[in-house]
Structure 1
Amino acid sequence: MKKKSLLLVGLLSMVLFAGAQTDNNKVAIGLYFGKNEYKGDLGNGIFNFNKAFYGFGGVSFATYISPSFDLSLQGNYGNYGYFPTSNTLTNMLGSKYEGTLSLHYKFNNGYLLSKELKLSPFVEVGVGFASYSKNGQSVTDRINTGGSDVIVPLGVGLKYQFNDAFALQYKFVYNLTNKDDRDFVVSGSKDKFAEHSIGLIFSFGSPKDADGDGVSDKLDKCPNTPKGVEVDAFGCPIDTDGDGVADYLDKCPNTPAGAAVDANGCPLDSDGDGVPDYLDKCPNTPKGIKVDAAGCPLDSDGDGVPDSLDKCPNTPKGVKVNASGCPLDSDGDGVPDNIDKCPDTPKGVKVDTSGCPIDTDGDGVPDYLDKCPTVPGIAANKGCPEVKAETKKIFAQALQGIQFESGKDVIKKSSFAILNKVVKVMNDNPSYNLEINGHTDNQGAAAMNLTLSQKRADAVKAYLTKNGVDAGKLAAKGFGQTVPVADNATAAGRAKNRRVEFKVNF
């Protein structure tokens, strides 16, 4: 008995040691009870439930090898017997110890059936020993004997897995022996025994955790997590900001929720301006452009034109600008509207710093309208001085004071005095331009009168030019009888209509 006990301990140690070498290091202990059955020379009691019940109890130790195989060490002790209806022996009754080492093949290995099945079938084959102590009763006397056999267990069973730690198992084992005298009869065929058992299986050891993150592979949704990476309850790397990039890879672990990120876990910055898209109000800024905190191109003067396009980046606030960021200059005089006091100056007119046309003589008539830009004048005379009363008087005297020989364009000497006064007026007033207009009465043909009036105007012009007046400032024109100033029906009226008028222009 001592040798048998040592052998059982040795086999158990071998199984446990073998289990320690597996990837899983998962060990199961089983406690079971059942019924022993016999088949031999006395009869066949296997699956014969009308025979007496011979019970046994046992314990098993199993270790995981692979998804398909477990290695199991089993030991049991119980009774066996057989009472035939007629034989030289009236009965057989005994007890036995068994120890076996078996290899289990599991059908729920992921190849034949799913690993997740609760109810899974298996088969087993092994080798072991059996020690018997038995007695029999013959017709004449009682027999007591014992012995040991080598046995080969062949088994089939079903296991229901309640959870990772607990299962219920049914198993049928058919034990082949190497002896034929366990029933006291030797007839040429070996005796056989069978076992029906129900057991409770308790599993120990750590579940398989391929990546060593502390979450079993069965629960691990990220089974290939790099070593040392902190994981959540599902075995996946922690992602504090929930951006889809695990913290151990995330260079921006505090990205706000909902912000799109790149492979490094940093918020996307489509235009590369340094402001992430989720904050960038101008996500398409051209590369190299300086931007503000909102990701928009800098606009130093706040005129709505970014500095990168602004040709006038220091425009005062509130000033309207054009597309180039420069203050509007509606009249194009070079003075922006915001300081232009004359915003409607005609194009090409020179202006002062206020944007108003230059008025050199300060008479209120701008130079571009002033016919006398260096001499103060009045608007009525286009910026030229007002015609003096004395000059007007001379011109009035000339109306009737210039006389011609009758029907001719020859000036009478009596008219030279008044014409000389006109010469002086023109020389004293270089800004004057003088119109010389000749007129006649209605005596004679109109065409002849028109020609005569033109010749007389030309004669006056010639006299003035001869006496020093610039011909460029003189214009002679005859009107004939077309512009009377009195009634041609009377001699007095006709005398007034025969005249030479002077008109100053500027």
Structure 2
Amino acid sequence: MKHLNKLFVAALMAVGLNAHAQNEDNPWAISFGVNAVDTRFGAASKFEDQFGNFFNAKDNWNILPSVSYLNVSRAIGNNLSVGVTGSVNKIDKLVSRVPGTQEYVVTNPGDVTYYGVDAIVKYGFLTKSWFNPYVHLGGGYTWLDEQGNGTLNGGLGINFWFSENVGLTVQTTYKHTFEDQAEANVPRHMQHFAGLTFRFGGKDTDGDGIYDKDDACPEIAGLKQFQGCPDTDGDGIPDKDDACPEVAGLAEFQGCPDTDGDGVTDAADACPTVAGLKELKGCPDGDGDGVADQDDKCPTVAGPKENGGCPWPDTDGDGVLDKDDLCPSVKGTAANRGCPEVTEEVVKRLNEYARTILFNSGKASFKEETMPVLAAMLAIFKEYPNASFSIEGHTDSDGSNKLNQTLSENRAAAVKNFLVENGIAADRLTSTGFGETKPIASNKTAKGKAQNRRVEVKLVKTN
């Protein structure tokens, strides 16, 4: 019997110590220990005498020095639990009253075996405390050897919890029989219990000590402060709410880091190690021109984005930026979009050269000695790369009008072709011949005819 008791206690302790517990999470409880039957209770004639020697264990209590009771119960909510208790004892002290007196005698009925099977309903107080008192009601059946009676039970008990799942339980139960005491097989009596209680039965799938019903992440081990959810990177934000669960970050960025502290998370920051501007994806802009330094060809000098962050150049220094300057390498005026303006003096000079152009007689080919004149005119045309000109040819009256018209056209075209061949844009020049129709001197003299054989240059003004 002693060895059996030891094995029984060891098994129950193993169950209890492996049960993770909070009362509402672990609905099952098992208790075992010793019980004492006080048979004096049924012998008193007056109610006030019932408790006169309540704690007189030496004279009144029957105790079996072994594990002598077992209770299995289950919590059903609202501080209530239901269970069944089985108990066994040996009655070697039976208290009875001497008829006609108030005296009591203790007799040995011959080691009568006591059995009890009782249903119990408990209502607990301070269920979250280490000190957990309760009241209980129930009913059952009790035997003395082979004779028995049904009983209505009630009483008090206290659980002293050593840990969340292991406690010491003490309980006193009054068992009332409704038969006359003299005729009852089992008189009314008190039964006391003391033993260990273990709670178990809660489900914790991920083994993190937080039961599934309270675990926001029941299949992944986590932390109590996060309702059982993990915080892999240890930044105080549970993985389920962390946009960057494997890298420690800040709550304001849903757990993502901002290494340079510029208010842009590393994941969205094109320059994560250098503080920058949100509008530039976290990159700096040293010159404040709206172009990030990493994309700025001139990071220390402000410039427009269209020019790579560099200021627009003004190559010719005329105050008109190259991007707007139609003549970026020639100084001009803003009014003429950066190109030099052709003055009357320039046109006069061109015509002074033009009138000295010499052609072979009756032809549109140049005489050799006129090449310097053409070169001088070419230089002037190049000074005004945005100006357009009309080249006009004229003849004297010798020969037919038709021949003179053709000759004037060809000579004007020859001057234009020379200029185009030497770098002047063709769309800047037109050529026209007027034959003998616009003389500037008399064709009756050799001098006058020489003046009428001429080339003129006119400025074509555009809007």
* TM-score normalised by L of structure 1: 0.46
- Comparing both structures, which one devotes a greater share of its residues to helix? 2
Larger Rg belongs to:
1
* TM-score normalised by L of structure 2: 0.49
Query: Does 1 or 2 have the higher relative contact order (CA < 8 Å, sep 6+)?
Result: 2
